[in-house]
Amino acid sequence: MAKTIFITGASMGFGKLWVEALLERGDNVAATSRTADAYQTLKERYGERFLPIQLDITDRSAAIAAVQRTKEHFGSLDVVINNAGYGLFGAIEEVDEQAVKDIFEANVFGTLWVTQGAVHIFREQKHGHIIQLSSVLGIWTLPTLGIYNATKFAVEGLSEALASEVEQFGIKVTLIEPNGFTTDFGGTSAVQSGSIPAYDDLKSSLAHTEGLLPEDYGDPKATVPAILQLIDETKPPLRLFLGKVGLPKTERVYAEKLHTWKSWDHVAIAAHG
């Protein structure tokens, strides 16, 4: 049975691939972008099954209205995918105030506004699936991506709490946590901070010290079957890695965290009073 899917940031990267695959298999899709002209070819090909929406997700009223428009256009809504967002590269000391505010507006608040619009509809109809594009960098960190880390850690926290709040209404929540893929994440869609020479050696060594070699980056097209399976799943997981890097590194990182917590547990217990 065809589903109705609303997806943000769908003019490039993962979003574009997923929209095309969903339309090709017969689903109804509403796709947002800052410029709806990006979807002219798809609109011509799929007609009323495709709804392009020009949207700045940082505008709360517009974001909620876009989700509602999708429901009204298609008569139903099954899945909302919060895919929009971008990266900010720079050491914590290097990033400027406006760049930090801007990425939080897009990655965190934009996700929140669309989510609020989706929950309102899904709660009333007693079913729905919210899929949040997080990252492995919402689970562990990389140097010079600390602010991006912070936005994805925030998405993880709000989405995990959301899942426990809305389960009673028949609403499912899934966090997608991709490792690096050969998208435009580090290209034209990214923001680069200013540079402080003291961090130059760190930046030049990251590829080798943090496992960022070419073979560690996945093929975006390979994510399509996983997304289709996730959308069709009646009992979707709260979290889903995409790629082969996420699980083994997460196991190492959390083993180290547990070791530290346990080794300092006597101090923690004493602090309880």
Nearest to 185 by CA among 9, 3, 54, 1: 9
Q: Per the structure block, which two tokens stand in for 146? A: 């600390």
Contact (CB, 8 A) for 50 and 42: yes
* Rounded distance between C-alpha atoms, residue 118 and residue 68, angstroms: 8
Q: Which of 71, 86, 148, 159 is catalytic?
A: 148
Active site annotation includes 86? no
134 catalytically annotated: yes
d(CA 82, CA 8): 6
Contact 3, 79 (CB under 8 A): yes
- Classify 26 in phi/psi space as left (phi over 0), alpha (psi -120 to 50) or beta: left
Point out the catalytic residue in the list 11, 71, 86, 134.
134
Residue among 3, 16, 71, 152 flagged as catalytic: 152
- Assess whether 152 carries a catalytic annotation: yes
- Contact predicate 38/55, CB 8 Å: no
For the annotated catalytic residues, the residue numbers are 134, 148, 152
